[in-house]
Structure 1
């Protein structure tokens, strides 16, 4: 039986899928307003909001996301653990759901407040999910597991748009046609809260806190043999010993300073910021928030538009599955480059079809179907590449001492880019119609060349070895020198290493733990 089909590997997948549920929140929350603004009852309930107010409703959600992602998610995750950060984020989303659903009639500010709290919850939970997954997954399946992170975004969109389609088919619901869409966003976070504390905490977080026994117990639930556990524990300790010497303090400002001072980290941060911003600038961010507005230029039936959105989300799930089998075969770099090329072609053809066919803002049905097909084709390219692979690459390239902060900061550039696009896109699509897609064509061409020439491949590289890929110091070797022990990192050491090597690992860990126990006893005295 293959190693990845063992009992511990199945549990590894289960724990990863619970954490990936945070992305269901994101997919649902990012789609829910797109779905609700198609409801005439919602428009009437809040006094027919202007296009500027529509943009603000999308933007305030992203502002909350940025605030929590930059300033709260990483500190909470670092000091209290990955599970606590995810649970707090989910709890905020549940609270915000009821604030939005039961906002008083005509009080758009209350609805805006709920959207801001949703953003806070998302900003707290989202950066932590992929970090937790990357820290518990084996290196050979890490990309496959993380591919489901983006898949769950599509699951969230799927649920939101199909609920919207169902409510659009029942006009007798009245105002509850949009309230049902909103209130269902409390379901997934409630499930995550009920499950998350039954999972082990990240073994790497335990090691960082000096809780070696807890780290070993957690890792045993994800690895098959004691040899794997002991080797990985020792590598973590060696790497973190070096990282602790490099990071002068643990405050948020000191960690962010390290991201700027260290040349290797600074380069990784630059690459991560660009590709994360690029994820939303491909055109996906606007399609996800304003597909209803786009389709209104072609179709007049609200139920037809809801059906198209629901089908788009359904196919998004199927398309994202491609990442699970492609990411460890052709690698992260070529998925990103190929995706950008395919997306550019789709955006170019949409712009040409929309501008060169007769009808102005009222297209014929065949033209409308062609545009829908092209946007579905865009999703085929986007989901397994810039949708899934950006998260995979970002969550695995940073060392443990800065990982939560770096992933949180990098992922928030998605929201910075999104808030800019969401604010001006309603006016752009109203003024330029389908010519606005030429903008996304140009952005995707830029992203293709950026990835092709600058982004390195990370397929199969262990987390503790990632620094060497970017010209940095090998943290395992450097930490081993500090600990005064022989490093376990060697291209010649494999799973068939001599028994003496494994005994040395056990002996070294036992000595270290005995010393730690003696220090604790001394402190108590």
Structure 2
């Protein structure tokens, strides 16, 4: 089987895998570029000498400085937490496309506010702007995975939602390197630290422009009863005529899913909340939230937001050395994300990725923590050259990155974008995004204090959480690879979960073969088979 070999739920025309579906996913993923950049640039910007000088960080005590940095970073996650739930309301009433407009506009306003900060006005505009920017990215983090999963053919759904993760990594790569470049090419000044804040406007502006072209989600339009526009959008995205068998089957599946939800959940803004009384529905909300607990428990956001502090704890001395090491971290993440996107997510599957990544990443964290415990690099600040143990710790840090990135970095977003039913998908994604930003907030708010008090224990803490995630995934999370969205309810009913994916794929293929056998037995020609199947659908 080749790298791009697809596992399909049913025979699929090649026209379905066209440039339009990839272009829509790529444009929507400019939202994740915003998120990735904002997550990456802030840590090194806070360490930029010009920023430190302008806001008098050197005059603050260690505990006060840790609190100030934690507040600047964490208000962004607090805003994102609320934005992810605001998006549920906008997506229900206005749709996926207009919701993106709203939240990217809020983000742009917040990013613009930050540009007004200086030593006289203080940090208030940065903090207030980061709250608004957080609301914007929180809403976008809800909308984009839903939008992409609803327009994606099942066989490439992981790959398309993976473009969202790729956008996150590209934004992060720029964010990790920008301050290194500025510190090397510009003298310290107000303008020097202002540039990384201004760059936030670029991906937001690209999303605003691109969102004019993308189509509204056909599934959302069908749910709202706008069948004419829904069918037109679906045909445009699939690059097939309305009477094609594939389109007829897909529309029938969508209608059946909507009808099932209408009967069992009910239509309306508040009905998905009522559906939470159903333990089967609530279980998926629990799984989605826990995936993001384990994701943040890996330590990734402690590294994203406070990378200079992390590398200093390992023994990296000097601002530019810290920036360079952080930049390489961003490169490793981006390169491995391409491997995850093109090969692993739709080839190896979600479950195996999560368990392999957790096991390998945990071993790396144990090594780093043990090195810091035994060598105590903080006590040798005069020695700017890394020891052999320090070089090994840096190696294991990048090895941890190679384990984490193709597993826990983007895979929880993929699973959450596809495992909810049509009527609960928006609320489910809001819950998942809210959980992501809540745990993100907890980590970003307390990481500076953790490094002050726990030292090497921080790495042991994250290593332990990664190990605990393995039995959680093995026993509780089914494989969602290649399963149609309309078959997710059935997938989560099957026990044990490790066999659920194979059982569903077998059932779908048996249904296909049964129809083909019936058609063959009736002596139907190819065209008559198509007409008969359309009539049956």
TM-score with structure 1 length normalisation?
0.88
Distance across 2 between alignment mates of 1:377 and 1:198: 40
State the partner residue of 1:46. Answer: 55
Distance across 2 between alignment mates of 1:215 and 1:459: 26
CA 1:89–1:53: 2 relative to 1, 3 Å: same
Equivalent residue of 1:271, what SS?
helix
CA 1:237–1:108: 2 relative to 1, 3 Å: same
State the partner residue of 2:360. Answer: 342
State the partner residue of 1:236. Answer: 254
Distance across 1 between alignment mates of 2:396 and 2:417: 31
* Structure 2: gaps (5+ residues): 6-11, 495-506, 520-525
CA 1:402–1:7: 2 relative to 1, 3 Å: closer
1:103 is aligned to 2:113: no
CA 1:416–1:269: 2 relative to 1, 3 Å: same
Between 237-246 and 342-351, report the one with greater CA deviation. Answer: 237-246
Equivalent residue of 2:466, what SS?
helix
The answer (yes or no) to whether the contact 1:17–1:148 under 8 Å persists in 2 is yes
Matches within 5 A, 1:142-291: 142-225=157-240, 226-251=244-269, 253-258=270-275, 260-291=276-307
CA 1:505–1:108: 2 relative to 1, 3 Å: farther
State the partner residue of 1:295. Answer: 311
The answer (yes or no) to whether the contact 1:278–1:414 under 8 Å persists in 2 is no
Q: CA deviation at 1:46?
A: 2.4
Write out per-residue CA displacement over residues 39-78 of structure 1, whole angstroms, 9 at most, x where no aligned residue.
12212322326211111111111110011112x1011112
Equivalent residue of 1:242, what SS?
helix
What is the RMSD of the two structures over their aligned residues, measured on CA atoms?
2.3
State the partner residue of 1:305. Answer: 322
Between 223-232 and 136-145, report the one with greater CA deviation. Answer: 223-232
* Structure 1: gaps (5+ residues): 473-487, 510-525
Distance across 2 between alignment mates of 1:374 and 1:151: 23
- 2:98 equivalent among 68, 81, 84: 84
State the partner residue of 1:431. Answer: 453
CA 1:381–1:262: 2 relative to 1, 3 Å: same
1:492 is aligned to 2:511: yes
Q: CA deviation at 1:302?
A: 1.3
- 1:452 equivalent among 471, 474, 479: 474
CA 1:148–1:8: 2 relative to 1, 3 Å: closer
The answer (yes or no) to whether the contact 2:288–2:432 under 8 Å persists in 1 is yes
Equivalent residue of 1:277, what SS?
helix
The answer (yes or no) to whether the contact 1:8–1:222 under 8 Å persists in 2 is no
The answer (yes or no) to whether the contact 2:369–2:457 under 8 Å persists in 1 is yes
Distance across 2 between alignment mates of 1:405 and 1:454: 21
Q: CA deviation at 1:493?
A: 2.5
CA 1:395–1:110: 2 relative to 1, 3 Å: same
Write out per-residue CA displacement over residues 466-512 of structure 1, whole angstroms, 9 at most, x where no aligned residue.
1001129xxxxxxxxxxxxxxx9884226967755754676699xxx
Distance across 2 between alignment mates of 1:295 and 1:490: 51
Distance across 1 between alignment mates of 2:110 and 2:260: 42
Distance across 1 between alignment mates of 2:233 and 2:135: 29
TM-score with structure 2 length normalisation?
0.86
Q: CA deviation at 1:300?
A: 2.6
CA 1:8–1:457: 2 relative to 1, 3 Å: closer
Distance across 1 between alignment mates of 2:14 and 2:333: 27
Distance across 2 between alignment mates of 1:288 and 1:41: 21
- 2:338 equivalent among 321, 326, 340: 321
The answer (yes or no) to whether the contact 1:34–1:288 under 8 Å persists in 2 is yes
State the partner residue of 2:397. Answer: 375
